[in-house]
Structure 1
Amino acid sequence: MTKLSVNINKIATLRNSRGGNVPDLLKVAKDVQNFGAEGITIHPRPDERHIRYQDARDLKPVVFTEYNIEGNPVKKFMDLILEVKPTQVTLVPDADNAITSNAGWDTIKHKDFLVEIIEECKRNSIRTSIFVDPDVKMIEGAKLTGADRIELYTEAFAHEYSLGNRKGIDDYVKVALVANDLGLGINAGHDLSLDNIRFFKENIPNLLEVSIGHALISESLYLGIENVVNMYLQKLK
């Protein structure tokens, strides 16, 4: 069964927009796990515009499932990882000013750098995953870095699926088969949603984990808002 890791960045975005501690990030993390999620994902960025570095520390005793921290392995990020020691670190090559992750690693060009980072993580018993595009050469390159897993960047699939093109899954199936042959675990994330997740899961062999945040939180607003509106109405009667 594929595990669901819920990315709670958007909860932090909402909290930060007003200051204070509403919504309570730690309570949301606890609740999401109690609702059945098998992991919590965060992606702190250098400007801390959503998840703050202190959030990563505060979440450590709260996450009783799997704790996945994503980010570009600059020194500040790696210092955090080695302090917190999450279950998994997902290495993402995002620029400081990126709104969201928008490309996978060139695992050939950056092999030596990734090897060094991954070796340090392994010395600290942290599972490693590399964010990659669905390109066979990048999967083969990921294997040479010593990574435990890859995370497939699924924006292209999600876009094609929204247009009705089911062939958009083909490249992902191809690289998943290569990853399986190489002994790399497979994670996936970015623009996966209630609309496309079943199709993706059914076509990717041995998909271990999906990390979903933006869509899940957005869908929760719609699927849960009727209940909250009616709770207010009941209290106002």
Structure 2
Amino acid sequence: MRHLALALVGSIAPTAMALADSTQATCILSRDHSTVPSERGTCRFSQSQGNVNVRFNSWAFRFPSDEQGVTYQRSHSPAGISFRREGQYTLQVLWQQSRNVIPKPKYWASHNIFLGRWQGQSTAGRAVLDVLSVEPNRVRWGNKANGICDSDYSVKTLPSVPGGHDPDQLVPSRKPTERGYAITRLTLKPKPCSTGAAVIQLALPLDHSDHLKVVTYGADGTTIGHYGMVYRLP
């Protein structure tokens, strides 16, 4: 039966687990077109630069970032992450209850101008930010060259400041203006990401613009990245 199950799940193979961004979770493995019951139990989730490894019972799953959308589909929810290989299996990774919910402002999940997917600019032919994804309980951004962050977060909303710039990082307008920004800071939880970023600041002009200005900070408050304009994706 174990050999049959191995054939069904296909590209599952033993591997050494990466130590970066590793956490304990609950996994549910469901095989397609099989009478083998689903397996549920404790697993170890590890992610490094977007590449995911999951150790579950005798299985060692690999989900390379450059194969997402090609050999497997990945989806997120506040409860965890789901990985699906069509015709083979679905693996659900559910966060432990202690990581499930970090309190956010009451409006955050329903009336939030920052939620969605944003596309970064390119410099010298290389994406600086790639796609920034802000979900009610996850934020993800980065690329292979500079590292990928994927984390829950807490929220701090800063007051809107007129005059064309936010309080501490963005370049003021050359001409006087009453333009203001809605500004929020997301502190990554439970720890900074592997790139050293601990806080991501998002500033959105209050004139129906379709772009953010993004700054990231280390745990000591120093600037890690200043990304400029990031445009909303459909």
- Indicate the structure with greater helix content: 1
Greater Rg over alpha carbons, structure? 2
Q: TM-score, normalised by structure 1?
A: 0.24
Q: TM-score, normalised by structure 2?
A: 0.24
Higher relative contact order (CA 8 A, sep 6+): 1
- Indicate the structure with greater strand content: 2
